[in-house]
Amino acid sequence: MAAEKNVGLVLLNSSLSPFGQRCSIALAEKGLPHEYVEEDLAAKSDLLLRSNPIYKQVPVLLHDGRTIIESLIILQYLDEAFPDTRPLLPTDPYERAQARFWADYVDKKVYGCGSRLYMIKGEPQVPANIEMAGILKTLEGELGEKEFFGGEHGFGFLDIALVPFSTWFESFDKFWGVGVAEVAPKLAAWAARCMERESVSKNVFSPEKVSDFIGEMRKDLGIE
């Protein structure tokens, strides 16, 4: 994105990365202009390797040449470094702690179990399917009757943490028979509501593209 007003931000990303998508969504929600650099993860740039020598992963945010890594930390940094923009986290310390807890749950459980599901077929899939259904129901319980996880603050930190993974929902059904619309219909409706936001629809992959990617990956790994 060409910077209309240069605030010194550069995002190193891979558009396929759900973690990088979080950062793009947050930058869009905050209306922060930035330079976007698409990384080829099979041939990482010197800038990426220098910026994130510990993990060598995207996303990386550069702010005035300084490096911030880890998507959830980047989201919190943006709130603190740009206090005049739309906040992502609530202001109340207890609510902030809750949002952080659930975002960590997304990383540990949705990403953890989802990436395990990618690799398996047949018998071992059964417990993983049951686990994923439970994770989705738990998240639906946390959403309750709210429109967004951010509650009265609207679409916020936890919504951004989870929404890139909602594009995996169709694949949960297609590859593993975990029908999110049946298991957690309110969560499926939340995902559809999120997708109506330009910040989301412009920065996540379509469920079809995600499913094509998973299908290709499973073929390459000899799983399908």
Ligand X SMILES: N[C@@H](CCC(=O)N[C@@H](CS)C(=O)NCC(=O)O)C(=O)O
Minimum CB distance to ligand X smaller for 13 or for 188: 13
- Does residue 19 interact with ligand X by CB under 6 A? yes
Residue 85: count other Cβ atoms within 10 Å of its Cβ: 16
Total residues binding ligand X (CB under 6 A):
11
- Does residue 70 interact with ligand X by CB under 6 A? yes
In the complex, the smallest distance separating the C-beta of residue 13 from ligand X, rounded to whole angstroms, is 9
| Separation between Cα atoms, residue 104 and residue 208, nearest integer Å | 27
Pick the binder of ligand X from 21, 24, 51, 71 (CB under 6 A): 71
- Does residue 167 interact with ligand X by CB under 6 A? no
- Which of the 8 DSSP states describes residue 87? P
- Longest Cα–Cα distance of the chain, Å, equals 55
- Does residue 102 interact with ligand X by CB under 6 A? no
Pick the binder of ligand X from 9, 11, 12, 17 (CB under 6 A): 17
Contacts 24+ apart (CB under 8 A), 124-132: 125/176, 128/176, 129/176, 129/177, 129/178, 132/172, 132/176, 132/178
SS3 state at 38: strand
SS3 state at 1: coil
In the complex, the smallest distance separating the C-beta of residue 58 from ligand X, rounded to whole angstroms, is 4
Q: What share of the chain is helix, strand, coil (3-state, %, to 5)?
A: 60, 10, 35
In the complex, the smallest distance separating the C-beta of residue 4 from ligand X, rounded to whole angstroms, is 27
Tokens of 82: 């740009």
CA 90 centroid distance within chain: 19
Residue 190: count other Cβ atoms within 10 Å of its Cβ: 23
Site for ligand X in 110-129 (CB under 6 A): none
- Does residue 203 interact with ligand X by CB under 6 A? no
- Which of the 8 DSSP states describes residue 153? G
Residue type, position 16, single letter: L
Minimum CB distance to ligand X smaller for 19 or for 165: 19
Q: x/- site string to ligand X, residues 25 to 64, per CB under 6 A?
A: ----------------x--------------xxxx-----
Minimum CB distance to ligand X smaller for 9 or for 183: 9
Which residue has the closest beta carbon to ligand X? 57
Minimum CB distance to ligand X smaller for 106 or for 183: 106
Which spans of this chain sit near ligand X (rule: CB under 6 A)? Answer: 14, 17, 19, 41, 56-59, 70-72
